[in-house]
């Protein structure tokens, strides 16, 4: 039925065009932002899940940074303690050479040992990373090293796990230079130039002290090596976990750009056809009015 009061065809065409424009606006937004779910109004459930997962991933990123810092501290200490162990090995070899040697030769060996002792002290002092020295405790750094290793959330309950490095297992020297694994060893003067050649029994006692220090240094190196290995493993795990979370978030909220681009082209065609349809419907109405003018 043709009516001069209501242009039903034009209304239908307008509704169709408005719907096409709305879909086109949504598609253009997805293409411009890259998100299928950019706000809670797009999909409240997916947006909420994705937001929480993104927040957790930021926490995991902070954990990875903490592990990187901890790795630097542990790597520095591990490198230094293994070097110190090699230097104590040299003292051991020098003492064996000194056994039964003349006083003159013992004094030469004593000079060499003293140089090694000084080098060990220097190695300990320089084993510092970001203000932390795991080989030398002082009044300002006597606590164990605790490296944040994970962030675990169950609902609103959060648990932080750490990788701990005990100071007692890695302390080569204290600030005075007399305590720790090698303190007594470095404080010892193995040969006194004011007396005759040192007896074999005294050298054997010194060798016993060296062996004790070597055993503790080996334990400390093994302890740091284990911590280093655990840090590396945890860093790799968290990197993979973070990637998995990113993929999960993407599956929930990311737009399929190929699909949206194809849809954009289709909607643009629909928009053009809708405009033409509305124009035709309005044209028909004008034709009816023209009849009354004749």
What is 88-137 written as a DSSP string?
A: HHHHHHHHHHHTT--HHHHHHHHHHHHHHHHHHHHHHHH--BTTB-TTEE
Do 261 and 244 sit in the same domain of this protein?
Answer: no
| Residue 9 belongs to a domain | no
Q: Are residues 144 and 65 in the same domain?
A: yes
Domain check: are 153 and 263 in the same one? no
Q: Are residues 210 and 241 in the same domain?
A: yes
Do residues 270 and 242 both lie within one domain? no
State the DSSP code for 148.
Answer: E
Per the structure, the complete domain to which residue 50 belongs is given by 44-253
**To 5 degrees, how large is the angle CA 281–CA 287–CA 291?**
150
Q: Are residues 164 and 114 in the same domain?
A: yes
25 and 144: one domain? Answer: no
| Gyration radius from the chain CA atoms | 39
Q: Does residue 234 share a domain with residue 118?
A: yes
Tokens read off for 247: 């993929």
Q: What is the pLDDT of residues 5-62, one digit of tens each?
A: 556 676 777 787 788 788 878 778 778 888 888 888 888 999 999 999 999 999 999 9
Q: How many domains does the chain have?
A: 2
Containing H/E element for 143? Answer: none
Write out the two tokens for 287: 């034709």
Least Cα distance to 217 among 259, 183, 243, 252 occurs for 183
Q: On the CB side of 23, how many CA atoms lie within 13 Å of its CA?
A: 18
pLDDT in tens, 190-211: 776 667 778 888 889 889 999 9
Express as a percent the part of the chain with pLDDT over 90: 45
DSSP 254: B
Q: Do 103 and 230 sit in the same domain of this protein?
A: yes
The answer on pLDDT for 184 being more than 70 is yes
Asked if the model's pLDDT at residue 275 lies above 80, the reply is no
| 215 within some domain | yes
Domain of 91, CATH number, reads 1.20.1330.10
189 contact partners, CB below 8 Å, separation of at least 6: 110
Same domain, 122 and 29: no
């Amino acid at each position: 039925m043709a009516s001069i009061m209501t242009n039903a065809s034009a209304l239908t065409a307008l509704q169709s065009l408005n719907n096409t424009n709305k879909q086109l606006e949504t598609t253009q937004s997805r293409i411009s932002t890259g998100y299928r779910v950019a706000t809670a109004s797009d999909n409240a459930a997916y947006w909420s899940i994705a937001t929480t997962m993104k927040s957790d991933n930021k926490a995991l990123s902070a954990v990875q940074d903490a592990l990187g810092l901890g790795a630097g501290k542990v790597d520095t200490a591990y490198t230094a303690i293994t070097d110190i162990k090699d230097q104590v090995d040299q003292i051991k070899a020098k003492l064996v050479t000194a056994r039964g040697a003349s006083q003159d030769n013992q004094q030469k060996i004593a000079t060499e040992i003293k140089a090694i002792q000084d080098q060990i002290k220097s190695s300990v002092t320089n084993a510092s990373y970001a203000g932390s020295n795991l080989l030398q405790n002082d009044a300002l750094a006597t606590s164990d090293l605790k490296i944040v290793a994970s962030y675990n959330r169950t609902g609103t309950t959060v648990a932080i796990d750490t990788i701990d490095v005990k100071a007692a297992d890695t302390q080569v020297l204290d600030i005075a230079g007399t305590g720790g694994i090698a303190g007594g060893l470095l404080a010892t003067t193995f040969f006194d130039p004011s007396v005759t050649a040192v007896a074999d029994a005294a050298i054997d006692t010194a060798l016993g002290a060296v062996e004790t220090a070597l055993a503790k240094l080996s334990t400390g190196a093994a302890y740091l090596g284990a911590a280093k290995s655990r840090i590396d493993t945890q860093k790799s795990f968290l990197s993979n976990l973070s990637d998995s979370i990113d993929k999960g978030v993407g599956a929930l909220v990311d737009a399929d750009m190929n699909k949206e681009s194809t849809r954009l082209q289709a909607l643009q065609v629909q928009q053009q056809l809708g405009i033409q349809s509305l124009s035709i419907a309005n044209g028909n109405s004008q034709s009816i009015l023209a009849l009354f003018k004749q």
